[in-house]
Amino acid sequence: MPTPQFGALTRYATLRQLQVFQTVAELESYTKAAAVLHLTQPTISMQIKRLVDAVDMPLFEQIGKRLYLTGAGKELLATCHDVFERLGRLEMSLADLRGMKQGQLRLAVVTTAVYVAPRLIGEFCNLYPGVDVALEVTNRAWLLKRLADNRDDLYILGQPPSDIEVEAFPFMSNPLVIMTSRNHPLVGARVSLQRLLEEPFILREPGSGTRKTAERLFAERGFKPKVRMELGSNEAIKQTVASGLGVAVISSHALSLQGRDSPVAVLDVEDFPLVRQWYLVYPRGKQLSVVARGFMEYLRERMEVPDYP
């Protein structure tokens, strides 16, 4: 049999070096990578130096305080994503061959889904103690970028994207309501959309799915809300609304743990609640890991979903 010919990279670079490189590249920092990988900074520098020697080209350039990938670095990072994704899948298949549900589930969810996802994950992990879950929480715009880059196994969001080919399954309803401070004079009254729009609004940040839905409704009706503030988290919005600064559109899941003496209330507004769904999504054609398929199955069995295929 002829001896296979391997280049310097394949002969001298190790998987560990690639892992260190990927971590530094994604965190744009040697120091943060050292903390995440529980290594010292000189060890990180040494691993990267060996990898640079094997590639025989610089992988990073330092401009001011920021670390940038060179062209070769970008190529190598894309290769790392492929290699680790393939190895991850292999680990899953091996676990499957051993007849066990074990391995990792990489789940990315939109900000508001933090009120839903951890409970589901907890129950799933109780069923399959061998599974560990990496949960990424980000807003809709960033989540769609991760989805386009195929960074995770599964995604949870409030509306499947229209410009990326995906498989999407609704698994739970997600009612959006109008929240105000408990002492607001409109609490308890039936409120028209037109009347509501006289109130100052506290909106989520651009890129949020909740915000997009609210804006779509207002645009359809030809209304323009008076925006008093934009905030990047549901918790910050609750605090702001509680102090009487305005009203907000929010998922009722974000209010589910509020007690009786909560400082916020839900208004009875025409057209609300806007009932949306939570969707489990993945890129069309993606080879799902055993654990990811298991999680989908689990959601399907657990939820009352009339239109689940």
Comparing CB distances to ligand PGA, the nearer of 18 and 120 is 120
Comparing CB distances to ligand PGA, the nearer of 27 and 137 is 137
Interface with ligand PGA, residue 139, by CB under 6 A = yes
Residue 4 to residue 120: CA distance in whole angstroms: 48
**Local structure of 173: helix, strand or coil:** strand
Provide the residue count of the chain: 309
Interface with ligand PGA, residue 158, by CB under 6 A = yes
User: Measured from the CB of residue 265, what is the shortest distance to ligand PGA in angstroms?
Assistant: 21
Taking a C-beta distance cutoff of 8 angstroms, is the pair 33, 27 a contact? yes
Comparing CB distances to ligand PGA, the nearer of 29 and 139 is 139
Interface with ligand PGA, residue 112, by CB under 6 A = yes
Say which residues have a Cβ less than 8 Å from residue 260's Cβ, sequence separation at least 6: none
Interface residue with ligand PGA, options 204, 225, 237, 241 (CB under 6 A): 204
User: Measured from the CB of residue 143, what is the shortest distance to ligand PGA in angstroms?
Assistant: 7
DSSP 68-125: EE-HHHHHHHHHHHHHHHHHHHHHHHHHHHTT---EEEEEEEEGGGGGTHHHHHHHHH
Interface with ligand PGA, residue 277, by CB under 6 A = no
Comparing CB distances to ligand PGA, the nearer of 106 and 140 is 140
As beta bridge partners, residue 107 has: 135, 154
Interface with ligand PGA, residue 29, by CB under 6 A = no
Bond preceding residue 309 cis, omega within 30 of 0: no
Ramachandran angles phi, psi of 291, nearest 5° = -65, -40
Interface residue with ligand PGA, options 48, 107, 121, 157 (CB under 6 A): 157
User: Measured from the CB of residue 164, what is the shortest distance to ligand PGA in angstroms?
Assistant: 15
Size, binding site for ligand PGA by CB under 6 A: 12
**Local structure of 278: helix, strand or coil:** strand
Footprint of ligand PGA on 231-250 (CB under 6 A): none
Interface with ligand PGA, residue 208, by CB under 6 A = yes
Q: Which residues bind ligand PGA (CB under 6 A)?
A: 110-112, 139-140, 157-159, 204, 208-210
